Structure 1
Amino acid sequence: MELEKKIRDKIAILVVLAFLLYIGFSYWNNIIKIFIEGYTLLFPFILGGCIAFILNIPVTFISKKLLNCNDKGMGKIVKKYSTGISIVVSFFVIIGIFALIFSIIIPNIIETAAMLPKTFDNSTKAFQKWIDSNTKLSSNIVNLVNNMGIDWDNIFNKVKSIVFNGLGSMLLSTVEAATTFASATVEFILGVIFSIYILAQKKILGIQFKKVLYAFMKKEKVDSILRVLKLTNLTFSNFITGQCIVSAILGMMFFIIMIILKLPYALMISVLIGFLSIIPVLGSAIGCALGILLIVMVNPVKAGVFILVFLVIKQIEDNLVYPKIVGDSVGLPSIWVLVAITLGGKTLGVAGMIIFIPLFSVAYVLLRKEVYIRLKEKGLEIE
């Protein structure tokens, strides 16, 4: 009877899977549309959950420190409101870090933008001087242009038409961008408020979640699910911490080398690269491009030196620092960190690079545990 029941259960599962596959293949576009609409509707809450997950790292750390206070006087009050205090402190710390980063980056960008007209003017004068010093070359160019029979009036009218049409399109784009920005701001504010509620009531929410699981599922399965969720939470938290450490190390390496080589904007570019390198691979490349743009305005030769510095430091980071620190923080060997970055980037782009490393780590730990259990059951011990 027990065997027949297991067979019936497996047949029922196969029938349900076959039905779901049929629905999926038949109504794929509609299903994708429903998922997109659902994601758009729930985006503020998803964003709030992501913010809460990231902020939970400093909140938990600060809360543990506050709970070590004395049980008398002010210490008793601090312990009682430790969660609220840790949430407020965490928000102020994050805001302070962003304010410090932007206070270093933005003034230098404004200064460089102010230098652009002067740099362009100097380059134009230098080019004009070179043309004037080569009178034969300039006269040949003028004759060549005149002999080409170009209708300059027609070209001017087309350019004017493109400019006016472009101004109209730019105006519409500005209105659309302002509307999108306002909508994104409202969603972000809702996400932050939702994250505060999650952080303030995380213990209650955790207990309620466990009650629901135990009420509708077998205890063994719930225990297994909770172990996987705990491992996933620990892995993602360690990954975020490791990523921040790598970013700080990378920024310091750039700052020290740029100071030694007397490259301009050392502090600003180091902070920029360190900040953007939170995004694996792509972030530091964006920081490098912005750094080159800033340095080339001052000294093109030093911009070439900076490129060489970037290539050398990136090799050290990619092959030594990143796999070692991030790999250790998530319990994933260096080779699989590189595989996770590659596959994640190919699959989901920047988000995939960030998500795939901790996901690979969870899968690696679970698979390793299962492998050892099966080897032990078979009485095998492989060196």
Structure 2
Amino acid sequence: MTSELTGGWAPRVWVGAPAPGGLALPAAHPTAAHLYSPRGVHLDASHLVVADSGNHRVLVWHGVPTSDEQPADVVLGQPDERTEGRAAGGRGPERGMAVPCGVLVHEGRLVVADAWNHRVLVWDTVPVTSDVAPDLVLGQDDPAAVEPNRGRGCAADSMYWPFGIAVVGGRFWVADTGNRRVLGWDGGLPDHDRPADVVLGQPDAAHREENRGGDVGPDSFRWPHDVTGTDDLLLVADAGDHRVLGWTPHPGADGPAGTVLGQPDLRSAEEWPYGPHTGDRFRSPYAVALLDGTLAVADTANNRILLWDGVPADGRAADHVLGQPSFAANGENRWSAVDRDTLCWPYGLSLHGDRLAVADSGNNRVMLWGRS
């Protein structure tokens, strides 16, 4: 691929099992270097954190990996690096996880969206040893509880499949995917049991219907999955409606988005699986990341990453594409061999400086891309 097509981005370091030419099957007994369908990733100057979703665990590298297949330093959610499964070695959810997805380090605290346990976990510091229990559980009555919406009705303090998390504009945001809404807490990470201050996508905290029980619109979600933005812009990847919605300024209450990417208007939800492909239509965009004017969208089911030089206000096509030979292609691993610059269902993104971390879920790896 040309540098102009990719915007100067190129793959640097591969974390996960090797896949010489073909798809790597997940290991029957994982190690600290193996991944199985990773869905979330966080990158900063001091850490790489990966939601190793298929192994029901989170891996932490202290320091950014510098070599391929480098093993993680810390394993959370399992008693050791070779155990997998939702039961966490038979000990229950107090230390275990079920399909963790979103991961985040904010002000020195590690945050994990433990999606299928319908909760968010918080460690007051990023653990330096494995098998450490979280210090705080959000969305459940106690660390042993795992029922959707706390086993009660949908409310401002409950969750159902929370997949994405972010701190944007001073608020802590959760893409509460199964409730088809986005929750926001003023002042950052909340205390246990505190209800959300903002509920986006539903008429009130008790409702959870797809697209508010009607047609797609500027104030509805089908499958909100990730959140990013700046101090004056909030972006939500609404994967089920094949679009990214934007609010400027940040909404202080439920209300319509003002901009959309991936659709011609705010009332369209057309899936775009077949050609001719372009850079302005999506198919199940599960992740979105924004940093210093670079916008990245994981166009997951089209097996590509779309990049914009600046956030478009008019829905224009992307400036660059990763993982495909052109904007017109969408094949898994380009319908060819697995290579360093191919993608198969990219599910999570994280931007930091001149690095882009991609949770390349279908290839059971995370690839760190660099920009020259």
Larger radius of gyration: 1
TM range (shorter): under 0.3
Task: Identify, as 1 or 2, the structure richer in helix.
Answer: 1
Task: Identify, as 1 or 2, the structure richer in strand.
Answer: 2
TM-score w.r.t. the length of structure 1 is 0.25
